[in-house]
Amino acid sequence: TRRKSQEILDWKYPTVLLCIYGFFSTVKPLEPFLIPFLTGPDKNLTIEQVTNQIFPVWTYSYLAVLVPVFLLTDWLRYKPVVIFQCLVLFSTTAMLLWCNGVLEMQAMQFTYGVVTSCDVAYFTYLYSVVEFKHYLKATSYCRTAQLLGYTVGSVLGQILVSFELMSYDNILVFTLVLTGIALISSILLPMPKTSMFFHQMRSARGETDGEGHPRSECELVVDYKKSAGFKMDFLQCFSSRTLLVWSAWWALATCGYNQTVNYVQSLWDYVEPSSNFTVYNGGVEALSNLIGAAAAYGIGFSSADWSRWGEVALGALSALEGGALFAMVFSANIWVCYCGYIIFKSLYMLLITIAMFQIAAGLNMERYALVFGANTFCALVLQTIITSVVVDSSGLGVDIVTQFTVYGTYFSIIALIFFLSGLYTTMCRKPEMETQRENPEEMFKAEDDAQIIIGTKF
């Protein structure tokens, strides 16, 4: 009984601290009102400066530091990067509060790109300190804490702005206090003894388990195979047509989703200027998060044969996403814009959950971390290309209406490609043949991983 109690404590203690960190680091009341804040009397920037000169810096900095931060995260064993992320988030909020001008706001966007690149440390830390049998519960708790943080932040921001309880500057000071609480919880996190790549190989060379105990010959062989088979795993993952198709949709759709979410406030402000209208951005963000999470959760109970109809569903629902974006652009009505955004975001959360499930069902734990990272990197590369060509003032620097016309067209093209591919797959291929690529002994492991992924998404 004593040993069991100690085992429960070993996984619950870091999980609780990580949930506290995840909640307080994501409560950002000002985020839904960033455009009104930057273009209002506080910063006195123009919408063109914000959209075409300031916001693109986030995309470039995110791409530039993503891979180095990923490697550094593993080498430092996660916790230092979690603490560093909180410190940089604190600096970003402080810069947003006290700095002015285009150059200062561009620097703020660079630091925020560093913050988002450090997100990789959150769940990788969790998986390094929690045993596999607790992954599902721990992941669900931590993801729920993040979702609650985003929702509470959006609702709180809406209340504070609508009832004029706080100025924008005071909201930022309040956010600094919340970030300080997150920083304290990150410092209290226990330090992991191993990591995915560097420290497992180091332990193998030193023939210890990280605590000074000799490691068995079997463990050393396993570690050697892990390090030697990294590139082979990568090639094997993307040799499957099923995984390649779902990964391609992931990268393409995530690129378009990020662009939409990043610049949607500019569209809202264009359709209905915040100086003439009580904005409800916070309520819309909160509602879209909750509906999207409910849709993602509900799909876990669906009995649909996604291996057969998944591509058709991707095409059809991506077409609805494109339609929602076109409705936002051409309606010239803020309420239609709000509804279109809720539909768009909810559909993306639903589809990305299906994509994660389909990929996870054919991979073991270590491989899906590799595939998900590769998909995210590809999405970011595509996003950088679109930003530099369409958005950046050094490129075409188009207006916000043209931008969202491009995004709507982008999702329409995605819809056409995957719908036609899905029809071909349904009529001409046997989906059962594709599922036989994995070894029989890995099937039960794949089912467990798929359940973990569903918990991770929401």
Measured CA to CA, the distance from residue 82 to residue 190 in angstroms comes to: 12
pLDDT digits (tens, 9 = 90+) for 205-260: 444 444 444 444 444 344 444 444 557 666 766 777 888 888 999 999 999 999 99
Note the pTM of the prediction, 2 decimals: 0.83
pLDDT digits (tens, 9 = 90+) for 122-168: 888 888 888 877 876 887 788 888 988 999 999 999 999 999 999 99
Stretch among 6-10, 293-297, 358-362 having the lowest mean pLDDT = 6-10
For domain 1-193, which architecture applies? Answer: Up-down Bundle (1.20)
Residues of the chain with CATH 1.20.1250.20: 1-193, 217-458
The three-point CA angle 154-292-128 to 5° equals 85
Find the helix packing angle between 334-360 and 365-386, rounded to 10°. Answer: 140
Query: What are the start-end ranges of the H helices in 163-280?
Result: 168-187, 198-206, 217-228, 230-237, 241-271
Measured CA to CA, the distance from residue 399 to residue 214 in angstroms comes to: 63
Contact (CB, 8 A) for 374 and 341: no
Average pLDDT value over all residues in the chain = 83
Top-tier CATH class for 217-458: mainly alpha
